[in-house]
Chain A
């Protein structure tokens, strides 16, 4: 990973939260508050068919009956759901035909994010769908993908253009009633990405979505649905940023993955929502439900790098329904200052010979709290299920916390489950050793943290690995006094 580091160094000029700019684009924002009318209005604004409106209303009805969960190891002031605007879109007339029609300020935002559309087209071979606040703004590469029969578009378009696929799969992995935030998302989601890979097709490029919360006082409720049909393969990347704001912004997303027989989905996330300032003021509440279902001989691999958000509540999971299916979870969570993270995964073994791997690396600094919560469940029919879990925690300083809550439920005697956990601290002797070799303390910490996270960083696609390493470095700046 030699070139990675050189690039890193050049890019590492800025301190603090470098994505904290706000784009002044005219936007179309709903009044605050949530009721049936708002749900209907969102659906109407999106031009959705009636069945979709009904689906949302049903979700909203269940949400009203539900209570916000309190079991996670996080403490925060609960959001006032009536004080949030549930829809904010950059104002526009029609879908853009070419870049010339796009608001220059918006293009500027993309540039600051380092994802200039033009550059993307030329360089990376990454197809990008960009969701700002709630609406999908641009999807690149659609034609190239269409030649292979791959559908990659915003979920609102998919609802209109591919209703059969949506009806068949939406909400099948995460039912609208699944949990409080999932129900909220189902009721009010305003956009997100949709991806369908046809039978036997290997998607020729990494598909990528960038999410960004721009408008003050808005929540972002995107919904992502990825379907890999039999024998297909797709690698999907997701990146997230938000401007620095004093108030807490809510992000409640749902991601559903469906891997049909012999298919493989690799889903990578670099989450860098605004974490709040050094005193713990502001920042994004990141309450996300991510889940995939694996049919026979299929594989889902989650790779997650979380450096942002004030509070994170997130458990990307796999339901290993089909025989011989494989679930993987590779995870890095960095918390600094006053950040809190309660994250992990669930591996639900239903089919025979199912296998799962969990590698979790938690890095805590400042006064942050970092919890891993994982469930490995082997059901009675899941003969010869295997799981390996490894949870490593790295602490910096004396004021932070690392917690591990592994749950194991084995209801089949043939199950083999291994769990390993370690906790270590960055030692002064390690820092001095690096200093003596001419490496300053900040760089030394970055080196040690990158080394600690290596098993997971190696799972990321190359472009993302660079960004992830950079983020680790930025997130931990100033964490050793």
Chain B
């Protein structure tokens, strides 16, 4: 589904990704871990197609198509979803209005009519219930005055609504208390299928107790320096990242 080969990317002439290789197949959950500044968020942003990042070498192929040719919104239409580490506020635009606009934009790109209002409402209600979001929340302005936990829950709500093929969760666990973490993880697990894939970016092992990865990768200094199974995450938790740094030295 996602094939990243020798990916180099820079922002403002500073190279951050220095040769990433990653293969994600349908039905898989991958975790990417690593210390601060290792390039985790850059990787997710580059996959999503942010214009400020320049890909100087290598390729990202998604569903057989080279993403280099596609704008951020086109990548979204193809089924790439990024749950942001810091979701932005859009005052005056409700959670409901925003997700409707997003869904209908993707439908339009596929040549479909807008989703009928009734169907939309039904879907919103179902997904909100799954994530224990109450109806008042849906009529609030997007992320405005939201707590850290509310912001993350809203990201997962959008994920649930858009049903992408590839979901990248960038530090979705930060700012969540343990109850919210369980709800969010439970939501992600329910959405998982044989046809989609999840990439979880996190500092900590905690989230991985609930969203269990098939593969764990350690990103350090712009490269994936170690890959393994979920045991690798436990090892990292026990030994810290210094262990990796020493191993590399």
Contacts and interface: CB of A to CB of B under 8 A. Distances in A.
A436 B72 contact: yes
Contacts of B141: 451
Given A2-B117, A9-B114, A432-B50, A438 B102 contact: yes
Given A2-B100, A5-B100, A443-B101, A436 B76 contact: yes
Q: Which of B49, B77, B87, B98 has the most CB of A within 10 A?
A: B98
B106 A438 contact: yes
B138 interface: no
Interface string A1-40: 1110110010000000000000000000000000000000
A438 B73 contact: yes
B199 interface: no
Q: Which of A2, A9, A432 has the most CB of B within 10 A?
A: A432
A72 interface: no
A116 interface: no
Interface in A416-467: 427-430, 432-441, 443, 447-448, 450-455
Given A438-B105, A440-B73, A452 B50 contact: no
Given A436-B48, A437-B162, A447 B73 contact: no
Contact of A430 (B88, B97, B101, B162): B88
Q: Which of B50, B90, B98, B141 has the most CB of A within 10 A?
A: B90
Given A439-B101, A439-B105, A433 B76 contact: no
B90 A448 contact: yes
Nearest to A441: B73
A435 B76 contact: yes
B73 A450 contact: no
Interface residues of A, number: 29
Given A437-B102, A440-B73, A443-B105, A6 B91 contact: no
A438 B93 contact: no
B158 interface: yes
A438 B76 contact: yes
Contact of A438 (B51, B109, B117, B142): B109
Nearest to B48: A436
B50 to A, nearest CB: 6
Given A2-B117, A438-B102, A438-B106, A453 B72 contact: no
Contacts, number: 85
B92 A432 contact: no
Nearest to A424: B91
Interface string A64-80: 00000000000000000
B93 A451 contact: yes
A435 B51 CA distance: 11
Interface string B57-94: 00000000000000111011100011010011111110
Nearest to A430: B88
Given A2-B117, A437-B102, A438-B76, A455 B109 contact: no
Contacts of B92: 450-455
A436 B82 contact: yes
A447 B101 CA distance: 9
Given A2-B100, A432-B50, A447-B98, A439 B73 contact: yes
A6 B97 CA distance: 11
Contacts of B87: 433
Contact of A439 (B81, B102, B114): B102
A249 B49 CA distance: 46
Interface string A399-431: 000000000000000000000000000011110
Nearest to A435: B72
Interface in B22-70: 48-52
Contact of B90 (A3, A6, A441, A451): A451
A382 B97 CA distance: 43
Q: Which of B72, B76, B77, B87 has the most CB of A within 10 A?
A: B72
Contacts of B89: 430
B73 A433 contact: no
Contacts of A430: 88-90
Nearest to A422: B91
A245 B142 CA distance: 41
B76 A437 contact: yes
Contacts of B51: 432
Given A437-B98, A441-B73, 20 more contacts: A2-B100, A9-B104, A9-B108, A428-B52, A429-B88, A432-B51, A434-B102, A436-B49, A436-B81, A436-B82, A437-B76, A438-B102, A439-B73, A440-B71, A440-B105, A447-B93, A448-B90, A450-B92, A450-B93, A452-B92
23 contacts: A5-B100, A5-B101, A9-B108, A430-B90, A434-B102, A435-B49, A436-B84, A437-B76, A438-B73, A438-B106, A438-B109, A439-B73, A439-B105, A440-B71, A440-B73, A440-B105, A443-B101, A447-B90, A451-B92, A451-B93, A452-B91, A453-B92, A454-B92
Interface of A: 1-3, 5-6, 9, 427-430, 432-441, 443, 447-448, 450-455
Interface of B: 48-52, 71-73, 75-77, 81-82, 84, 87-93, 97-98, 100-102, 104-106, 108-109, 114, 117, 141-142, 158, 162
